[in-house]
Structure 1
Amino acid sequence: MARRRRGLPVNGVLLLDKPAGLSSNYALQRARRLFQAQKAGHTGTLDPMATGLLPVCFGEATKFSAHLLDADKVYRTRVELGAITDTGDAEGEVVERRAVPRLTEADVEEVLERFRGEIDQVPPMYSALKHQGRKLYELAREGKSIERAARRVKVYDARLLSLADTAFELEVCVSKGTYIRTLAEDIGQALGCGAHISALRRLATGSFTTEGMLTLDALEALPGQAEREAALLPVDVLVDHLPRLEVDAVAATRLNHGQSVRVEAGELAEGETPRLYRAGAFLGLGAVTGPQEVAPKRLLSTVAD
């Protein structure tokens, strides 16, 4: 007999403004407790030092969270020059200090240009990537260093916001898998003085921005469950970049039973993944398997026949 899941069947997406000092998982669990939700997951880890946008998926939304893991991100960061730390940020130990040359905005812009576009980046030891089943940061804390292969990432834009004597602020738009700490370290090396970050804030993930974000304190201040759930975005916002396909009640029932259906698929080509709706209600995702034929791919379990 299956165990009954504790909590409420909450479904939707919360745009959480993660505070500094909390791990993404700890922030997630606090949000889950506030909503008394049966199931929750986040869509991309933020370092404990980092703040900003952490989309949290509840219930059925967790089925589609992978679409945000692959999304581009926007960050604002403060880069401190002249000191290299073992973690790449201000929470680590300084392992080397160097003199900082007198830099102009033109000097920094010249170096930033080298990091725009596709670049190779070696992931940091202080990361959640795994080696032989263990997270790299666990090995790093034991004083171990594992050789890591460089990965191809993309920096769509790196915009200089301000420049002081030994620091500058930067706003970057990057592809998935890009480490801002490593980017700052590499820029520091190119400037000849080394660098680490002292602040990091995520401003966007895919189509989501800081608009509508809520802090844990703001959620806690809401009077009740109904008000908290009203703050959630609907599940299908996670896949609103995919084409939309309406089906009738008969087709919806067949899809829900795992069967393919004949539909008017319009311009959809074989292999595409449409969002499926019946009378405006989101059903989940389908897969175009042939001319005018769609099979179920990932449906909501709450869909009624």
Structure 2
Amino acid sequence: MRSAPPTPTMSSDTNLISDAPVEAVGATADARAPRVRIPRRPVHGVLMLDKPLGLSSNDALQKVKRLFRAEKAGHTGTLDPLATGLLPICFGAATKFSQVSLEADKGYRATLQLGQTRVGGDREGEVIAERPVVCDRAAVEAACARFTGLISQLPPMQSALKHNGKALYEYARAGVTVERQPRQVTIHRIDIIEWQAERPDLLVVDVLCTKGTYIRTLAEDIGEALGCGAHLAGLRRIVSGPVDLRASVTLAALEAMDEAARDACLRPVDVLLADWPAVQLGEADAARFLSGMRRRIVHADAEHVRVYGPDGRSLLGGAHVKAGELIADRLLSPLEVRALRRD
């Protein structure tokens, strides 16, 4: 069970919600009706949520946060309501490392409808044009290969990028198009999962890419490269950094569980750091490291390392190594370290 005694309230960051210890629910139109108060509790760990279709990332976060009665929680990167799949939810101490997942590479399974372009590049938009799909497997492979590596993308108007303090999708809803600047992203790999000559208008691909990649734009670009156009008919996130869907749980499954079963679904705080080298410190060095002091260690320079105490299991925080010095980047509090040690 990933719970611990109450800890001091922490300041909130982007996508982090820090509530009071209790929450009132079940209020009715009658102001005199009794209010049921659900006590909040400190929870530490990471939940691999399989987000359902039609739910925003923030709505999913709020539902999960209430189910766990958690004091503090945050998600690790917005997933569009029209997309499903992996949405890591961080609780307590894990929220300190949510930025790691935000910056990590992502993997998606995308379903492209070839031969039809739509407003906004997805299935919700009105049809703009329809063209015949005339291609073979070699052409599809060549089109995918063309967009592998470092590429330039024009952010879609349906994106959350800001222009003069307002999200682009707000302009799009008002029928206004604003000038955008291309952005460079890296597509590490595009694997063709499904394409058949008997039904050439359906293409399913797995895409591994850097953060900030617009898959709907990629779908449109592949369609144009094939000469028939395309839109994104479905999107599912399957990878985020070192974690994937295999350990995920659906919202419906969580709602059917009792609290103990939900707690058993939580992964350790350091699961998001699994691809970082590990450094173990002795007792004296661990105490000094937690106070923010640099420590001399025998280790090659490294941009990121995860640091543990003498037992090799108690996470102390994240750091980097330069010229033999271990320099803290993100530290857990002593209360958090003790709480994780009891889990």
The two structures have a TM-score, normalised by structure 1, of 0.91
- In structure 2, the partner of 1:191 is 226
1:152 corresponds to which letter in structure 2? Q
Quote the Cα distance in structure 1 between the aligned partners of 2:64 and 2:165.
28
Residue 261 (structure 2) aligns with: 227
* Percentage of matched positions with identical amino acids: 48
- Tell me which of 72, 86, 92 is aligned to 2:119: 86
SS at 2:246 equivalent:
coil
| Alignment of 1:169 onto 2:200 | no
Q: Give 1:277 shift.
A: 0.9
Pairwise CA distance, 1:290: 4.7
Alignment of 1:15-34 (within 5 A): 15-34=48-67
Q: Is residue 49 from structure 1 mapped to residue 64 from structure 2 by the alignment?
A: no
Normalised TM-score (structure 2): 0.81
The answer to whether the Cα contact below 8 Å between 2:43 and 2:92 also exists between their aligned partners in 1 is: yes
- 8 Å CA contact 1:111, 1:190 repeated in 2: yes
Which residue among 259, 278, 284 is the counterpart of 1:250?
Answer: 284
Quick one: distance in 2 between partners of 1:284 and 1:148?
Answer: 38
Offset of 1:248 from its aligned partner?
2.1
Q: 1:123 aligns with which of 155, 170, 175?
A: 155
Pairwise CA distance, 1:295: 3.7
SS state at 2:94 partner: helix
Name the counterpart of 1:100. 132
Counterparts of 2:56 and 2:159, CA distance in 1 = 13
Measure, in 2, the Cα distance between the counterparts of 1:4 and 1:43. Answer: 18
Q: Are the structure 2 counterparts of residues 8 and 106 from structure 1 closer, same or farther at C-alpha, using a change threshold of 3 Å?
A: same
2:246 aligned to 205, 211, 216, which one? 211
Residues 294 and 76 of structure 1: CA distance in aligned 2, closer, same or farther (over 3 Å): closer
**2:306 counterpart of 1:275:** yes
d(CA) in 2 for partners of 1:99, 1:295: 57
SS in 2 for 1:8: coil
For structure 2, the 5+ residue unaligned runs are: 1-7, 10-17, 22-39, 339-343
The residue number in structure 2 matching 1:300 is: 332
Question: SS of the counterpart of 1:155?
Answer: strand
Structure-2 change in CA distance of 1:168 and 1:260 (3 Å): closer
Instruction: List per-residue Cα deviations over 1:51-78 (Å, max 9, x = no partner).
Output: 1111111111111111111222221121
Determine if contact 1:256/1:303 at 8 Å carries over to the other structure: no
Say whether the 8 Å CA contact 2:219–2:231 is kept in structure 1: yes
How far apart are 1:23 and its partner, in Å?
Answer: 0.8
For residues 153-192 of structure 1, what are the alpha-carbon distances to aligned partners after superposition, in whole Å with 9 as ceiling and x for unaligned?
A: 1222222222324222222222211111000011111222
In the TM superposition, 1:252-267 aligns within 5 A as 252-262=286-296, 265-267=297-299
Call closer, same or farther: CA 1:103–1:288 in 2, change over 3 Å.
closer
- Return the offset for 1:82: 2.6
Once the two structures are TM-superposed, the CA of residue 289 in structure 1 deviates from its matched residue by: 5.5
Q: CA deviation at 1:47?
A: 1.2
- Partners of 2:173 and 2:19 lie apart in 1 by 38
Say which SS state the counterpart of residue 204 (structure 1) adopts. Answer: strand
**Distance across 2 between alignment mates of 1:83 and 1:173:** 24
1:36 deviates by 0.9
Q: What secondary structure is seen at the aligned counterpart in 2 of 1:106?
A: helix
| 1:157 aligned residue (189, 214, 237) | 189
- 1:8 paired residue number: 41
Give, as a single letter, the amino acid of the residue that structure 1 aligns with 2:187.
V
Judge which range, 54-63 or 273-282, deviates more. Answer: 273-282
Secondary structure in structure 1 of the residue aligned to 2:47: strand
Q: What is the aligned-residue RMSD (CA, Å)?
A: 2.1
Q: Distance in 1 between matches of 2:229 and 2:66?
A: 42
Partners of 2:327 and 2:133 in 1: CA distance: 61
2:321 matches 1:288:
yes
Partner residue in 1 for 2:29: none
User: 1-side partners of 2:229 and 2:300: how far apart?
Assistant: 50
Q: Per-residue displacement from partner, 1:197-247 (whole Å, max 9, x unpaired)? A: 11111111112111111000111111x222211111101111122221111
Bigger drift between 193-202 and 154-163 goes to: 154-163
| Amino acid corresponding to residue 147 of structure 1 in structure 2 | E
The question of whether the paired residues in 1 share the 8 Å contact of 2:308 and 2:315 is answered with: yes
Q: Structure 1 pair 117/287, CA: closer, same or farther in 2 (3 Å)?
A: closer
